[in-house]
Amino acid sequence: MSDGVFDAEVAATYDADHGGTDPALVAATVDVLADLARGGAALEFAIGTGRIALPLAANGIKVAGNELSAAMVDELRKKPGGADIPVVIGDMCEARSEGTFSLVFLVFNTIDNLTTQDAQVACFQNAAAHLAPGGRFVVETQLPPLQRLPFGETRLPFAHDPDHWGVDEFDVTTQAYSSHHLWMKDGQAQHLAVPFRYAWPSEMDLMARLAGMTLEHRWSGWDRASFSKDSTKHVSVWRKL
C-alpha cells in the first residue's frame, strides 16, 4: 500500500511543518477527547505521528489507531510510548481494529483527505462499526473559507510566512480543493500539494444519520465554544444510537 502524500520525506518533518503541536491546543484537545471517552477505549482514525494519540494515552485512555502511511507510523514509533499503541495500516474507510470503542476520533481536518463523498460516507460507517451503542464519533475540521472567495476566483492564500507560503485552490462544483504548500529549506524550495474534499456540517450530519448516529454537540473549537456564523472550524460529536 502506498503512503500517499505522507511519504517518508513528509513524515520526517510533519510535526515541525504542519503545526498543531502548540501545548495549549494539544491539552485542550486531549481534555475534550478524554471527557468524551468516559473511561472507555478510544480509536483514532488517521493517527499520523501520534500528535494527539500519545498525550491522550498518557492521560490514562487506552488508545488504538489506523493510518494509511507506514512512514507516519514509523515517526509515531520513535516517540516515547509510541511502540505501545496498536495501529492497523490501512484506509480508515475500511480498516478494522480489534475491539469495541467508546470513542472514535478524526481530527486536524483529516476527513477532508477523503476526496469523494462515497469515501466520507464509508468513513462514517466504519467509525460507527467500531463503536458500542452510545459511543461517540468526533470530527474536527475547518469550514471551507468560501465567504472570502470572490465570485469566479478559485485560489485563496492561507499562509505567507518568510519560509512557508500556502494557497488553497477550490472547485466549488465538486467540493474538491488542493492545498499547495511551498517551504524554503536550506535555500531550496519544496512544494507539496494535498488533495481534499470539503463537506458542510449539515452534509456530515446526513453521513452520520446514514451510519446510525445522531448529532450531540457542535462546537467551534476545542474550547467548546458555541458554533456560530463566525466559526471557521467545527468540532462535531455524533452519538451511536
Ligand X SMILES: C[S@@+](CC[C@H](N)C(=O)[O-])C[C@H]1O[C@@H](n2cnc3c(N)ncnc32)[C@H](O)[C@@H]1O
CB of 217 to ligand X, least distance (A): 19
Nearest residue to 39 (alpha-carbon basis) of 102, 113, 121: 102
Query: Which one-letter amino acid corresponds to residue 73?
Result: V
Residue whose CB is less far from ligand X, 98 or 153: 98
Q: Rule CB under 6 A: say whether 30 interacts with ligand X.
A: no
Q: Rule CB under 6 A: say whether 51 interacts with ligand X.
A: yes
Q: Rule CB under 6 A: say whether 91 interacts with ligand X.
A: yes
Given candidates 33, 36, 87, 92, which one binds ligand X under the rule CB under 6 A? 92
Given candidates 56, 75, 76, 108, which one binds ligand X under the rule CB under 6 A? 108
Instruction: Give the number of residues written for the chain.
Output: 241
C-alpha count within 13 angstroms, C-beta hemisphere, residue 175 = 15
Q: Rule CB under 6 A: say whether 110 interacts with ligand X.
A: yes
Of all residues in the shown chain, the one whose CB is closest to ligand X is: 48
Cell (9 digits) for 20: 498543531
Tell me the number of residues near ligand X by CB under 6 A. Answer: 21
Q: Rule CB under 6 A: say whether 67 interacts with ligand X.
A: yes
Nearest residue to 115 (alpha-carbon basis) of 68, 155, 71, 150: 68
Q: Rule CB under 6 A: say whether 56 interacts with ligand X.
A: no
Three-class SS state of 174? coil
Q: Rule CB under 6 A: say whether 170 interacts with ligand X.
A: no
Find the helix or strand (DSSP H, E) in which 156 lies. strand 155-161
Kindly report the backbone phi and psi dihedral angles of residue 219, in degrees, each rounded to the nearest multiple of 5, phi listed first.
Answer: -110, 165
Alpha carbon distance 169, 155 (integer Å): 4
Residue whose CB is less far from ligand X, 6 or 101: 6
Q: Rule CB under 6 A: say whether 236 interacts with ligand X.
A: no
Residue whose CB is less far from ligand X, 6 or 170: 6
**Sign of the CA dihedral with 21 first, then 23, 25, and 28 last:** positive
C-alpha count within 13 angstroms, C-beta hemisphere, residue 107 = 25
Residue whose CB is less far from ligand X, 131 or 151: 131
Residues forming the site for ligand X (CB under 6 A): 4, 6, 20, 46-48, 51-52, 66-69, 72, 91-93, 107-108, 110, 113-114
